Each structure stands twice: as structure tokens, then as C-alpha cells.
Amino acid sequence: MKNVNRRKFIKESAMGAIGSSALIACSSEQSKINTPYINFNQSFLWKMVTTWPPNFPVVGQGCNMFADFVEKMSGGRMKIQVYGGGELIPSLECFDAVSNGAVELGHGASYYWAGKVPAGQFFASVPFGMNAQQTMAWVNNGGGDKLWEETYEPFNLLPTICGSTGAQMGGWFNKEINSPKDLDGLKMRIPGLGGKVLNKAGGSAVTVAGGEIYTNLERGVIDATEWIGPYHDYLMGFYNAAKYYYYPGWHEPGTVLELLINKPKFLELPSDLQQIVKAAAQRINTWMWMEFETQNSIYLNKLIDEEGVVPRKFPDEVLDQMRIYTQEVIGELTAQGEMEERIYKAYREFRASIDGWAAITEKVYYE
């Protein structure tokens, strides 16, 4: 059987090489037939709204870069005006604005629209779930993208991956968390499935746009907040508003960010511009993730060395209890409908497969 597989692989590789040579030989003839017509006099001006404050480091910055890439790759035929949260519409109204065609593009995370499309939360982050690279593998190559598109289809939206925060921190707290009881009554800014897990623990999850977090934390409107990682935590000054800094980010082990595209308007674009939009989103996807990795490593040291912050690990008792609550939350979500059940089944099966690979590679290496 092994020899059969080997011979098949070699044969297919050889045929692929022959096919490539044949394509090269007749490329001039084929190009006359297959090259799409491009009207260089036709231009497009689109609007893009985001959930992030204007020009916000990495995420807002990445949206500006996305617009710049699209313009340059299209030779100036397509321009995108980027609006930060609150500049054109409120931060958390991006989904509706793109869905109804008021604007063509939006950028955020799918858990922000949990009230409208609960199943979408699986495409952002699952507590105690896959890390960033595993989630990306599922979305990009493991069939997650097709389920995501199907989920958003009723809203005239085409979603595509466009950034990752990587692993997040557990957050900033104004009280010590020594046991699950310390979460009882806690008001915390935490979105998505993680927020529902906190509610199970007796806390109260609050969804607050990024630009409002510091003020709410400082004034005691909330007792705690999570917000990505050390880079933004340092820039936003959370160490001045809360005393305790916890890890790991059990709620968001590798959060995917999304580009929302109004599907009818996307389909009206020439085919080359459609591909340019998708290519720019993938380019930003990689850049955002790597930029978070780079800056978080630098700014964790700044928080420790310059501001005297001492990161604390959540007690195992707390993490163990939150795992239990996570399964309860997921069970309740998948019971809501066939789509939720299908998505989580696909997510769970992909994770089971990829965990086997990670167990004998990265896990062993880290240990």
C-alpha cells in the first residue's frame, strides 16, 4: 500500500509538471481568450466602518493599510475611505450598516454581533478553544470559511478573515481573583462566549467599545476589563485604573477579526477587484497577527520594568471552573439551532484532528 501511494504521488507530481509546461507553451494563446476585460476608466469609492477608535494601533492602523493596499493594487481604480468607530456610525453598528448597504465594508469581530447572529461567535474565539494558528487553519483551509459565509448569507454579508489578536491576556481587575467566588458580582467588560461564561460564574458581562473602557474602569462603572494584550494595555494606561493583571486569556486564545463585505455590492465589482479585496484582507490578516506578537512582547516588559506591574496567573481552581461553565455555555448555544450545532461540530472535529499533530510537535517543544 505504501509503494502504491508513493508511485501515485510521483506520477501525479510528474503530470503536474508536464501540465505546467504545456500551460506555459500555450500561455500566449490562452491569454487572448481568458484575460478579463478591465475598464481602467471605471472607478469605485467605498466606505469602511470599524469598531475601533480612529487610527487605533494595529487594528485601526491595519484597516488604513488595507485601504492603501487595495488602492495601490488596483492602480487607483478602487479607493476606500476608512471611518473609525463613532466617526460615521457608532462602533457597534458596523454589522447593520454593511448589511443594509449604507456602507460597503466593516471591520470588527463576530462576537460583537452575538445578539443578531449567535452562531457567528464561533468564528471569533471559543474559550479554552483553538489557538490563533489553529483557528486560522480551520477558517482558511479546514472548511470554516464556507460555514461562516453560510451563516452570514441571510444578512447580505460576505465575511472574510482579516486579522488576529493572537493569544490575549486575562485582563485587568480591581480585586484579587483567588477563587471562583471572587467572580460573583463582578462587572467586567468581556464580549462573546467569554462573557456568557462569566455570567455563569455570577459575574456580569458588559460590552463596551474600546474607546470607552478606560473611563468606565476608572469610574467604577466596571470592575474589570479584558482588552487584547500588553501593547494596548500600556498605551491605554489600564495599569493606572486597575491594580491586578491576570493571565492567561482563557476566553480568547486566538481571536479572529473579520472584514464584513456587502455581498451584492461585492458581486458588482469586476473580478480582478474582487480578488484584490480578498488578497488585501489576507495580507492584513498576517500583518496584524505578527504585529501583535511583536508589540506585545515589547510592551509586556515595559509594563513590568517601567510601571512595576506584576502579572498574575489565574488560580487553577478558577480556570477549571470556567472550563466547566464554558461547556455549559456551548451546550446552550448549540441547542439553539441546526446551524450552531453544525458549526461547533465542525470546529470540534477539526480541533480533535489538529490537537493530535500539536501534541507531538509544539507541545513537546514548549515543554
pLDDT(248) > 90: yes
246-269: average pLDDT: 97
Residue 300 lies in a domain: no
Residue 16 lies in a domain: no
Give the per-residue pLDDT at 35. 61
Residue 238 lies in a domain: yes
Question: Whole-model pTM?
Answer: 0.89
Give the per-residue pLDDT at 210. 75
Q: What percent of the chain has pLDDT over 90?
A: 86
318-334: average pLDDT: 98
**Domain coverage including residue 332:** 171-253+310-366
Pair 208, 96 in one domain: no
Whole-number Å distance between alpha carbons of 340 and 128: 18
Q: Domain containing 235 — which CATH number?
A: 3.40.190.10
Pair 151, 280 in one domain: yes
Pair 210, 319 in one domain: yes
Of residues 7 and 52, the one with the higher pLDDT is 52
Q: Which segment of 34-38, 167-171, 194-198 scores lowest on mean pLDDT?
A: 34-38
Pair 178, 160 in one domain: no
Of residues 95 and 20, the one with the higher pLDDT is 95
Q: How confident is the model at residue 90 (pLDDT cuts 50, 70, 90)?
A: very high
78, 276 contact by CB (below 8 A): yes
Q: How confident is the model at residue 32 (pLDDT cuts 50, 70, 90)?
A: low
* Mean pLDDT score across all residues of the chain: 92
Residue 145 lies in a domain: yes
Give the per-residue pLDDT at 77. 97
Q: How confident is the model at residue 41 (pLDDT cuts 50, 70, 90)?
A: confident
pLDDT(292) > 70: yes
Pair 315, 278 in one domain: no
204-231 exposure pattern, b = at least 16 Cβ within 10 A, e = fewer: bbbebbbbbbbebbeeeebbbbbbbbbb
pLDDT(226) > 80: yes
pLDDT(18) > 60: no
Question: What DSSP letter does each residue of 156-186 carry, written as one string?
Answer: TEEEEEEEEEES---EEESS---SGGGGTT-
On the question of a cis peptide bond just before residue 248, with omega within 30 degrees of 0, the verdict is yes
Q: Which segment of 7-21, 79-93, 112-126 scores lowest on mean pLDDT?
A: 7-21
Structurally, the chain folds into a number of domains equal to: 2
Predicted confidence (pLDDT) per residue in 98-111, tens digit: 999 999 999 999 99
68-79: average pLDDT: 98
Whole-number Å distance between alpha carbons of 313 and 145: 34
DSSP character for 314? P
List of residues 6+ apart from 324 with CB closer than 8 A: none
Q: How confident is the model at residue 212 (pLDDT cuts 50, 70, 90)?
A: confident
Please state whether beta strands 44-50 and 204-206 pair in parallel, antiparallel, or not at all (unpaired): unpaired
In the block, cell 470588527 appears at 108
Residue 3 lies in a domain: no
Pair 191, 243 in one domain: yes
Predicted confidence (pLDDT) per residue in 130-156, tens digit: 999 999 999 999 999 999 999 999 999
Q: Domain containing 277 — which CATH number?
A: 3.40.190.170
Residue 199 lies in a domain: yes
